[in-house]
């Protein structure tokens, strides 16, 4: 009986850990979406360079993504708007793969430019 209780507790801890990780990854995906919207606005305005505040946000997001997926290709902050968007799309694809390991991945999409 004690053995069953310990097994149930361990199982609950594992589920809670997986759910917590999924929430963190989903927050990162949403943060990337918000940043991509801001960068798309800049792109539509003809702005070529990523402002410092957005580079800082991108850097923080990329560091968190790299911590979540250390085996992923290195992700770097880019100075050009379109290049930064491409990098964020690659980071988002890494996160989607972590959230759903059965997801089909185009390895070319993950290669750094």
Structure tokens at 62: 């990329």
The pLDDT of residue 9 is: 62
112: pLDDT strictly greater than 60: no
3-state helix, strand, coil in the chain (%, to 5): 75, 0, 25
Structure tokens at 83: 């290049």
Dump pLDDT digits (tens) for 45-79.
999 999 999 999 999 999 999 999 999 999 999 99
The pLDDT of residue 18 is: 64
* DSSP-assigned letters across all residues of 31-51: HHHHHHHHHHHHHHTT--BPP
Task: Give the single-character DSSP code of 74.
Answer: P
The pLDDT of residue 104 is: 72
C-alpha span between 17 and 7 (Å, rounded): 15
Dump pLDDT digits (tens) for 24-49.
999 999 999 999 999 999 999 999 99
Structure tokens at 47: 């702005």
């Amino acid at each position: 009986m004690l053995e069953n209780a310990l097994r149930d507790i361990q199982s609950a801890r594992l589920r809670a850990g997986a759910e917590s990780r999924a929430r963190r990854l989903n927050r990162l995906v949403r943060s990337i979406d918000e940043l991509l919207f801001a960068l798309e606005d800049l792109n539509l305005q003809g702005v070529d360079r990523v402002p410092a505040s957005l580079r800082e946000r991108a850097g923080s997001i990329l560091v968190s993504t790299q911590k979540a997926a250390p085996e992923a290709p290195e992700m770097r902050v880019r100075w050009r708007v379109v290049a930064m968007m491409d990098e964020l799309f690659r980071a988002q694809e890494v996160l989607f793969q972590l959230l759903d390991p059965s997801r089909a991945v185009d390895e070319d999409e993950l290669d750094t430019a």
